Amino acid sequence: MSTDVAISEANTDAQRAEVQELFSRTIRGIAPNAIPAVKDDHLYAPLVLHHHDIETGQLAGAALTCRSQVAVGMTMMRRPEYAPVMHRHSELDLMAVAPAFRGRGIGSALVRAIGPAEGAGCTNLVRQRHPRS
């Protein structure tokens, strides 16, 4: 089965907690609340994608995109002049593949899945690099 088919959105706090656990195991120094809670989606507009291994059911990889920190700040300050462009900027903030599942194309599949999931309105996607553990 293709890795693309096994990718879905983590839309519940329980699913996001599982993603947070994966990130905590694979990314040094990650904040314990790096994955936004569902109640904060209006601020961060996150897209949390996750891939579970078909055979074992284990979480094999995940990716998080969300609004830039500037966009979140403007949302919190209720700056209406930024509203028309807020949905057009997103950052690939975090991505990890569990060591046992690396080399299978899961990371590449997650990146491919981001574009269609973000939608046609997102024109700027910034990618950052965090060290592996």
Asked which of 4-8, 26-30, 88-92, 123-127 is least confident by mean pLDDT, the reply is 123-127
The yes-or-no verdict on residue 124 having pLDDT over 50 is no
Distance between CA 116 and CA 104 in Å, rounded? 21
pLDDT at 122: 46
Asked which of 3-17, 22-36, 70-84, 96-110 is least confident by mean pLDDT, the reply is 70-84
This prediction's pTM: 0.77
Distance between CA 74 and CA 7 in Å, rounded? 31
The yes-or-no verdict on residue 129 having pLDDT over 60 is no
91 close to 126: Cβ distance less than 8 angstroms: yes
SS3 letters across 13-58: HHHHHHHHHHHHHHECCCCCCCCCCHHHHHHHCCEEEEEECCCCCC
What confidence category does residue 22 fall into, taking pLDDT thresholds of 50, 70 and 90?
very high
Please give the domain boundaries of the chain with CATH numbers for all domains: 7-127 (3.40.630.30)
């060591």: which residue's tokens?
99
What is the per-residue pLDDT across 24-68, written as a single tens digit (0 to 9) for each? 999 999 999 999 999 988 777 889 999 999 999 999 999 998 876
Portion of the chain with pLDDT greater than 90, in percent:
49
The pLDDT mean for the chain works out to 80
pLDDT at 28: 92
